[in-house]
Chains A and B, each alone.
Chain A
């Protein structure tokens, strides 16, 4: 019954809302937490993870890097931080999902993708059984980055709707 209430409250992000932790500490570098701010970036950076197992699909993670364009930030450090923070978050997501539903999914290593490739993936997403998204914020000592997770998957296990 609790699951039904959650599904009505977050019709667009049932699995992400329920199995992604409210916040995750990224070592001493930052915190990744759920957010109500809608992702709307002029310039963004995308990372793709594949999921395989009883759940087949992909997760595209986007970061708003509009404010970084004219600054002296170390891009390679920021990119490495984005990749690892999402790796940690999604690893925790799949671990929670398996503990609570017994549905098992494995995560690939991250792949940086272009805006064009992301658009192409999202065009196909509505034809896939599970298509959810969730807004997040990555808060570091220097900055706060708005982020978006898009979860596109097909369940191989019948208990997953």
Chain B
């Protein structure tokens, strides 16, 4: 599968380590990492330039939280789906993520298999 036929993914997390880890996990012809953002503002700027199928969003970030960003993505970018990630697995955070329109929630730390299963579940929902 070349890049034209791969699924376009944006990674949003204020942790460099987390972004690099996720990017490494998704190295494959099936996924095209269109960018990495350390804040919600950066993510919105990237999405204005480049279309993404899936955005992976961390909850705890400075200024605008991942939950608020999820709301903005769902409201403003049609056909873009969000997977929320967080080290916090509390029920109210999961509910906030679902309420904001996220397609899935994964608690950190996760394995490559868990991440790919989540992405594939989301892909299956829109293809």
Interface residues of chain A, those whose CB is within 8 Å of chain B, are 24-27, 29, 76-77, 80-81, 83-84, 87-92, 94-95, 98, 104, 106-109
**Cβ-defined contact, B89 with A95, below 8 A:** yes
Interface CB pairs A-B, < 8 A, 6: A27-B21, A29-B17, A77-B17, A83-B17, A91-B107, A107-B60
Q: Mark B86-117, 1 if CB is under 8 A from A, else 0.
A: 11111111000000000000011100000000
With A and B bound together, what is the CA distance between A24 and B109 in angstroms?
Answer: 8
- Distance in angstroms from A2 CB to nearest chain B CB is 23
With A and B bound together, what is the CA distance between A94 and B86 in angstroms?
Answer: 12
Interface residues of chain B, those whose CB is within 8 Å of chain A, are 14-18, 20-21, 60-62, 86-93, 107-109
A98 in contact with B15 given A109-B60, A109-B62 (CB within 8 Å): no
With A and B bound together, what is the CA distance between A90 and B61 in angstroms?
Answer: 15
- Distance in angstroms from A27 CB to nearest chain B CB is 5
Kindly identify which residue among A88, A104, A106 contacts B108, using a CB–CB cutoff of 8 Å.
A88
Further 7 A-B residue pairs, CB within 8 A, beyond A91-B108, A104-B90, A109-B62: A80-B16, A81-B17, A87-B87, A87-B108, A106-B60, A107-B87, A108-B60
**Cβ-defined contact, B87 with A104, below 8 A:** no
Name the B residues within 8 Å of A88 (CB-CB): 87, 108-109
A104 in contact with B15 given A27-B21, A109-B62 (CB within 8 Å): no
Q: Chain A at the B interface: mostly helix, strand, loop or mixed?
A: helix
With A and B bound together, what is the CA distance between A145 and B18 in angstroms?
Answer: 20
With A and B bound together, what is the CA distance between A92 and B86 in angstroms?
Answer: 10
- Distance in angstroms from A156 CB to nearest chain B CB is 16
A76 in contact with B88 given A88-B108, A109-B62 (CB within 8 Å): no
With A and B bound together, what is the CA distance between A80 and B14 in angstroms?
Answer: 10
Name the B residues within 8 Å of A25 (CB-CB): 109
With A and B bound together, what is the CA distance between A84 and B17 in angstroms?
Answer: 7
Name the B residues within 8 Å of A95 (CB-CB): 88-90, 107
**Cβ-defined contact, A91 with B87, below 8 A:** yes
With A and B bound together, what is the CA distance between A141 and B20 in angstroms?
Answer: 17
**Cβ-defined contact, B60 with A94, below 8 A:** no
With A and B bound together, what is the CA distance between A83 and B107 in angstroms?
Answer: 17
**Cβ-defined contact, A29 with B14, below 8 A:** no
